[in-house]
Structure 1
Amino acid sequence: MLTNYQNHQPPKRPTNCPLSPLMMSIRLYTQAICIQNRTLPAASAKLPYLLQAATLVALGAYSTAALAEDKPSVELAPVVVTASAFEPQAGDMATATSVITQSQIMQQGKSTLGDALANEPGVNSDTFGQGATRPIIRGQTAPRVQVAQNGILVQDASQISPDHQVSVPVLGAKQIEVIKGSSALMYGGGAIGGVVNVVDDTIPSEPMNDTVSGQFGLIGQQATDGYLGYAQLNGQLNDNWQWTGRFQKTDLDDVKVPKSRYDKVKNSWYKQDNASVGFAYVDELDYVGFSYQRQDSDYGLPFHVHNHCQPDEHRINRLTCGLDEHEHGAHEHHDHEEHDHEEHEHEEHGHEAHEHGHEEHGHQEHEHEHDEHEHDEHDHDEHEHHHEHGELPYVKLKSDVYQIQTEHLVPLTGIDKLATKFSYTDYQHDEIDEGVVGTTFKNKAFGATVQATHATHQVGNLGYMKGIIGVDYANSKFSAQGLEAYLPKTRRNQLGTYIIERLTPTYSGAQINDAGRLGAQSSKTQQDNLGHNHGSSTLPTDSTATKLAKQGKDLWYVQFGGRQDIQKIEDMDNNISKSDSAHSLSLEAGRYLTPTTQISARVSHSERLPASQELYANGAHLATNTWERGNLQLDKESTDGIELSLRYDNNKNFDLSTSVFYNDTDDYIYAKTQDLVTEGESKGFRLVDYHQSDAKHYGGEIKARYYLNDYISIGGFSDIAIIELKDKQLDSKYAPRLAAPRVGGDITAQFNQFDVVLSGYHRYKQDKVADFEHTTPSYNMLDAKVTYHSAGPQDYTAFLQVSNLLNDLAYNHSSYLVEHMPLAERSFNAGITYRF
């Protein structure tokens, strides 16, 4: 359910102090497991260890201090996790859940969903240029990670390939939620990695107080010589009818990179226009809303194979093409690694074979390409906007999305609320090379969900139970035509049913938070409508239940759910189909050990059915330089998992949350990379077959903050995720493109209307690599930011940021383009948000 607009207002500053609180937070990613048995690096890599030492000092101070000083009395509006079935406030959940607020999204200034989430604990991104970046949760990405917009699953082509954009606008969203647990069952049993839900104002969510209100934001970036901006208007036609409209625009040039023989990653530009309009009718009992959203995106495909390119036989997903600057980038990567060898002696292993293979086959090419590189630089200005000249490959995308959402209170006896969601998506993107459309991808998809919230009832002496029962249906027709049509025309039908129940010892604890669209009605009206009378004149809300729990009254909860899916995928070109069913179960329990300490545990059994590309792929995939072959013999994969979480908040000067998980999977589906093909139609490509193997998946996250006083606080967070395959035919046991552990931090100082932030993190060297992968070196990332919040009648926020302050050459191991597309160089960015 969507949240109140008031949940996203700037925090109120305290009035009991002559100065606004000087709040500092340092997030230090501490990973003791990764520190053990590790040789300390040279001076240039000491940053993470200094940060770890600071964390130990801080936590030691916590253990010996009297903890007498309270936290700053900043009144933060509650942030409700709408993707969860019971919509708790984000701070009330012990389970691993992240919420990125609107102000955080704006000040990050990221153009894609994956990049906007990349700094959250447990979340990374599989960067494929600036236009296509998907989120990775605990080492898992599509199709094990689902993306939703306002609780409705997004249906584009991003599940098929990393070079396909997730067509959800990010800038200006109210919040982005990352959720795991039994509530993810609402989005399909295959969402083993988790669910990312983008909450925005595409459809108005509740009655408004003003006839017209709105906001706009604008960000400029030096590293891309570009900008991102959005504008939004909200209005009220009368007491019941609301409207909203939004426009978002992105214009980014090729990204500049540090310490390289070329100054930009060629063909990494990105342009986007997104517009939406929505209307809603809201009264005390009913809600009906609908919206239309149009997105037009153009973005370059860096290192996409041209017809005249030849794959590099000694590297997976690496190309030796006519884009000479790219090959120089690969050489610069090796030069950087050699430099690392001098400063980071502990990183010597894992590079020798890589260097040797490159030297054996690259010297003559390098000399020739150096001359061509100088020629390319000479006429770079002429061809800088390559998309206009049609020379280099790029994607031209258009998407039309229609959504309808309804809610109705008390439709039937025993039912509190009935909700429906409908969506229709008409998606198309063309991959254009040398001015000619090479491949066209289309997806026409319909989705529907009907969800009933049943009335709270007492279960003997156990407590009170409330829950939801839902049915969802999805139908999609996908086609690919042209040079890169490695997938046939497919039709997918999926029907799912689910139930999620929550048991608490008190009536209030079982209540679902209705603070969204229909929460504006009075408590008395709601109680009369529901026909409940439990000795109270008002019906408690979820936030009330949380306060009671912290006072020791609602000590525990039990939440459980189940889902059944039926799926049929047809290969319409070859008149074959595959049908199967799957079921998933989840049981979660939480308890307050003290009013300040909450623990929870979750056990789950999840089954995932194979996706279209895993079954039917057969052909060249130029973006990844592979020849993919599906497997009709694939069975569903089955995962048994356990997760333990702890949350501590003493309401004085320390809070902490942490989660650890372990999953054991039978028949894990993965793309198994074979050797280079030397003959036949797939000659010159890496052969990728979809196989199954048992696997284990484990890791964890931790986040903490220690308040030294009303002005200074320090904290920390860390994450690690590892997937090990049990396929004995593999030389390496690790799944491909696993992100390395990281450790980092940020310091925020608030003085009057100013915030000053210094943030940084260290990404460790990744030597847990899959077959045909190579070790990726470690790097440090440091940012600085100054933000000004207006204090007068004008409501605006402005910021100035310097990203990659150290100008470190950094590579994302989770990217298919890891060796060729470094992260952006030092960049001065500025932005402003104005609300009225």
Structure 2
Amino acid sequence: MAIQYTLMTSAVLSALASTSFAFAQSAEQSLPTVTVTATPLGGDENAQILAPAKVLSGSELRNKLGSSLGDTLSQELGVSSSGFGAGASRPIIRGMEGPRVKILQNGMAVSDLSSLSNDHAVATDPATARQIEILRGPASLLYGSGAIGGLVNVVNDRIPTALMPKPTGEAEMRFGSVDREKSLSFSADGSAASLGLHVDGSVRDSGDYRIPGTALRNDPASPSGRLPSSFTRAHSLGFGASHIAGWGYVGASIDTRSDRYGIPTAERAYIDLSQTRGDIAGLVREPFAGAASFAFKLAASDYTHTEKEEDGTPATDFANKSFETRWEIAHLPIAGWRGTIGMQTDNSKLSALSAATGRSDTVPTTKSSSIAAFLVEERDFGPLRASAGLRIESVRRRPDDPGFSDRRINLNSYSLGGLWSFLPGYSIGATYSIAQRAPAPEELYSNGPHESTATFDIGDPSLQKERSRNLELSLQKTEGLVRWKANLFENRLRNYVYGRTDGSTVDDSGIDDPAGEFVRRLWAQDRARIRGAEAELSYNQRGEGLSLRGYADTSRGVLVGQGNLPLQPATRVGIDLGYRQDGWRGGVSALHALRQDRLAAFETTETPAYTLLDANLSYTLRQGGVQWTWFALAKNLMNRDVRLSTSLLRDVAPQPGRNIVIGLRTRF
């Protein structure tokens, strides 16, 4: 841990040394406040107590936009990527992934199967997002046990909440060199009388991407030039409408998406994915005495994907049908306390059937249901803002297999925290939380081959609920041209669920076979601990002229008494340098990741250090009521061979090489 706290100390000392410079500025710029919609109490991203927040929006989001959600967020503080090819890359937050990181769309679960396996894509489109919110640390108090490690909320405002005085919209097209990318995205809003209207959509087509060296490490005979089966094809379309009045609004939306993307393993399989989703949402202001508002959301999703062999032969059909509801009442202050009380329900049916036989060869068809009640309260005591919350949840798993029994698991989570503004613009915070997670169906009931990961997964139906104790300390400066933040965290987990391999290869029936194409993976439990540090220093992030951002993050995850957790992120340091003047905007960024040699007992290869150099340049002009932006992005300018320690494919699938992206964006 010496390197972790050395990084943190250096960043904090540098930030403190710069505060006198901030006070010396003759004219302090006022930065726009960005509201975090994924918290019941809302508010600025710098004022979050339950979990540190980051919001990506505007030009910052467009410049960081990648081929997947994980790629888009991979350089954010405390966030890395699973790196499973261009089509399926999921965010990893502080070393936690899969069923511990929940992905939301407009505050409701995406309801895909990306948490089940790293080869499954996230079924939401960052290209049409207005903003993306990241809550680092346990957010299960807010959104259930699937957020024990954090959450990501993709906000596209598909259900309008305000009437537009005139039609507005934006569109963007871009072309990329590394994978011959061609993409188009658009969104538009308007109104007719009291009806708010919205439409958005996107199309993306890319081929296999270029790599700097060979696909397999230290194997000159392996593919080079382009990584086989790394292509993506995707399109989405969504509509929404709301009736909006002085009392509030009520609306509905529907969207559909379809993806086809390759799995860059030796088998060269690919996945065909589709989802249709419908949402209803509403808000009533001051519905009755003592209530500030009543809000509700309902979401229904029909998700399917088929894993196919290289020749197109279907192997496994996955499906997930879900229906989720969320109800919240924000009350008026009571003895100075303001807060929200709510209820959430979720019902889903997961299946993974053999395409040839129709049998549940991988995970038995499982119905899951949950019901939860939660309360979040906040109060200011002069310069101290205190927060407290409680969530009670009951989860039930019902497998459609006589060999497995039903499971009912009761979960209790709570959080206590405070944020003390000891000087104007300076604050120190502390949060202690206990969060519990129910084992996912695949962790309980898996018993079969998974083609895309080349594993034969064996679950444990006796797994107990996972319990996390998290302590977080933060120090930040939130005003002035120079701003900074630093976080220290420790997460102790009991009954931590993880997949381990015993080195055995098996056939598609699970029988030991030295020539078998599958590696046996068993779900097990043990005690674990994750601790780490994050720091960020910025100068003039919104104003014209020179801007600067430096950051560092590190974490260490261990199975207590048994070595390291698998797939842990590397320690990273980065710097962004930018310049804005009139319509011009440009910048250069460098990210250096240290060698990751802290391997789990069954991991065999470390990942070497690497440095990524990126750049961007854009010019914006107005013609009448239309804004035009020409832009160019350069990613991995030095064409480095990058292997992610968080990727299952780090030995066989490097990240893309040098990529030049050009495009045009318009807003009206």
Paired with 2:122 and 2:573, the residues of 1 have a C-alpha distance of: 28
Paired with 1:408 and 1:707, the residues of 2 have a C-alpha distance of: 39
Q: How does 1:706-725 map to 2 (within 5 A)?
A: 706=539, 711-725=545-559
Paired with 1:764 and 1:738, the residues of 2 have a C-alpha distance of: 12
Native 8 Å contact 1:85 1:183 kept in 2: no
Amino acid at match of 1:788: Y
Q: Which of 441, 449, 471 pairs up with 2:318?
A: 441
Residue 736 of structure 1 deviates from its aligned partner by 0.8
Residue 72 of structure 1 deviates from its aligned partner by 5.9
Native 8 Å contact 1:619 1:682 kept in 2: no
Paired with 1:119 and 1:404, the residues of 2 have a C-alpha distance of: 33
Aligned sequence identity (%): 29
Native 8 Å contact 2:546 2:580 kept in 1: no
Which residue of the partner structure matches residue 534 of structure 2?
701
- Provide structure 2 residue ranges, at least 5 long, that are not aligned to the other structure: 215-222
TM-score, normalised on structure 2?
0.92
Higher strand share: 2
Which residue of the partner structure matches residue 564 of structure 1?
392
Which residue of the partner structure matches residue 83 of structure 2?
127
- CA 1:747 to 1:32, structure 2 compared with 1: closer, same or farther past 3 Å? farther
Paired with 1:673 and 1:501, the residues of 2 have a C-alpha distance of: 44
Paired with 2:575 and 2:537, the residues of 1 have a C-alpha distance of: 11
Question: Is 1:668 the equivalent of 2:499?
Answer: no
Q: Which of 169, 189, 197 pairs up with 1:243?
A: 197
Native 8 Å contact 1:58 1:706 kept in 2: no
Amino acid at match of 2:354: G
Paired with 2:234 and 2:125, the residues of 1 have a C-alpha distance of: 9
Paired with 1:271 and 1:417, the residues of 2 have a C-alpha distance of: 42
Paired with 2:503 and 2:554, the residues of 1 have a C-alpha distance of: 30
Q: How does 1:81-92 map to 2 (within 5 A)?
A: 81-92=36-47
Q: Which of 592, 598, 620 pairs up with 1:789?
A: 620
Amino acid at match of 1:696: R
Which residue of the partner structure matches residue 639 of structure 1?
468
| Counterpart secondary structure, 1:489 | strand
Which residue of the partner structure matches residue 584 of structure 1?
413
Question: Is 1:811 the equivalent of 2:628?
Answer: no
Q: Which of 241, 249, 262 pairs up with 1:287?
A: 249
Relative contact order, higher structure (CA 8 A, sep 6+): 1
Question: Is 1:480 the equivalent of 2:352?
Answer: yes
Paired with 1:479 and 1:401, the residues of 2 have a C-alpha distance of: 18
- CA 1:650 to 1:475, structure 2 compared with 1: closer, same or farther past 3 Å? closer
Q: Which of 214, 218, 225 pairs up with 1:263?
A: 225
Q: How does 1:91-106 map to 2 (within 5 A)?
A: 91-93=46-48, 96-106=52-62
Which one has a bigger Cα radius of gyration? Answer: 1
Residue 107 of structure 1 deviates from its aligned partner by 1.9
Paired with 1:825 and 1:498, the residues of 2 have a C-alpha distance of: 46
Which residue of the partner structure matches residue 567 of structure 2?
737
Q: How does 1:416-815 map to 2 (within 5 A)?
A: 416-433=292-309, 434-458=311-335, 464-482=336-354, 485-505=361-381, 554-574=382-402, 576-651=405-480, 653-677=481-505, 681=511, 683=513, 684=516, 685-706=518-539, 711-726=545-560, 728=562, 733-773=563-603, 774-793=605-624, 794-815=626-647
Q: Deviations over 1:478-531 (max 9, x none)?
A: 1111169310111101111111111124xxxxxxxxxxxxxxxxxxxxxxxxxx
Q: Deviations over 1:579-605 (max 9, x none)?
A: 111100100111111112111100011
Paired with 2:544 and 2:353, the residues of 1 have a C-alpha distance of: 62
- CA 1:491 to 1:758, structure 2 compared with 1: closer, same or farther past 3 Å? same
Paired with 1:180 and 1:60, the residues of 2 have a C-alpha distance of: 24
Residue 792 of structure 1 deviates from its aligned partner by 4.8
Native 8 Å contact 1:189 1:583 kept in 2: no
> How many matched pairs?
644
Residue 710 of structure 1 deviates from its aligned partner by 7.6
| Counterpart secondary structure, 2:127 | coil
Paired with 2:590 and 2:493, the residues of 1 have a C-alpha distance of: 35
| Counterpart secondary structure, 1:258 | strand
- CA 1:182 to 1:737, structure 2 compared with 1: closer, same or farther past 3 Å? closer
- CA 1:296 to 1:707, structure 2 compared with 1: closer, same or farther past 3 Å? closer
Paired with 2:379 and 2:22, the residues of 1 have a C-alpha distance of: 37
Native 8 Å contact 2:320 2:349 kept in 1: yes
Amino acid at match of 1:625: A
Which residue of the partner structure matches residue 331 of structure 1?
none
Paired with 2:20 and 2:580, the residues of 1 have a C-alpha distance of: 27
Paired with 1:770 and 1:84, the residues of 2 have a C-alpha distance of: 35
Which residue of the partner structure matches residue 160 of structure 2?
204
Which residue of the partner structure matches residue 228 of structure 1?
183
Amino acid at match of 2:151: V
Native 8 Å contact 2:15 2:537 kept in 1: no
| Counterpart secondary structure, 1:624 | coil
Q: Deviations over 1:238-285 (max 9, x none)?
A: 1x2111111111111101111336111101100011000000011111
- CA 1:56 to 1:140, structure 2 compared with 1: closer, same or farther past 3 Å? closer
Residue 825 of structure 1 deviates from its aligned partner by 1.1
| Counterpart secondary structure, 1:564 | strand
- Of 621-630 and 478-487, more deviation after overlay is shown by 478-487
Amino acid at match of 1:646: L
Q: Deviations over 1:62-96 (max 9, x none)?
A: 377594124663x5432111111211122444752
Paired with 2:312 and 2:544, the residues of 1 have a C-alpha distance of: 60
Paired with 2:433 and 2:17, the residues of 1 have a C-alpha distance of: 38
Which residue of the partner structure matches residue 219 of structure 2?
none
Native 8 Å contact 2:139 2:151 kept in 1: no
Paired with 2:157 and 2:280, the residues of 1 have a C-alpha distance of: 13
Amino acid at match of 1:81: V
Paired with 1:595 and 1:120, the residues of 2 have a C-alpha distance of: 27
- When the two chains are superposed, the root-mean-square deviation of aligned CA atoms in Å is 2.4
Question: Is 1:824 the equivalent of 2:661?
Answer: no
Amino acid at match of 2:328: Q
Which residue of the partner structure matches residue 179 of structure 1?
135
Amino acid at match of 2:365: K
Paired with 1:559 and 1:783, the residues of 2 have a C-alpha distance of: 39
- Provide structure 1 residue ranges, at least 5 long, that are not aligned to the other structure: 1-30, 37-48, 306-391, 459-463, 506-553
Question: Is 1:77 the equivalent of 2:32?
Answer: yes
Paired with 1:566 and 1:758, the residues of 2 have a C-alpha distance of: 49
Q: Deviations over 1:92-135 (max 9, x none)?
A: 44752111113222222312111111110000110111111111
Paired with 2:437 and 2:271, the residues of 1 have a C-alpha distance of: 30
Amino acid at match of 2:660: F
Which residue of the partner structure matches residue 103 of structure 2?
147
- CA 1:270 to 1:71, structure 2 compared with 1: closer, same or farther past 3 Å? farther
Question: Is 1:162 the equivalent of 2:126?
Answer: no
| Counterpart secondary structure, 1:631 | coil
Native 8 Å contact 2:545 2:581 kept in 1: no
Question: Is 1:33 the equivalent of 2:24?
Answer: no
Question: Is 1:396 the equivalent of 2:272?
Answer: yes
Q: Deviations over 1:196-228 (max 9, x none)?
A: 100103211212111x22110111110010122
Residue 179 of structure 1 deviates from its aligned partner by 1.2
Residue 797 of structure 1 deviates from its aligned partner by 2.0
Amino acid at match of 1:223: V
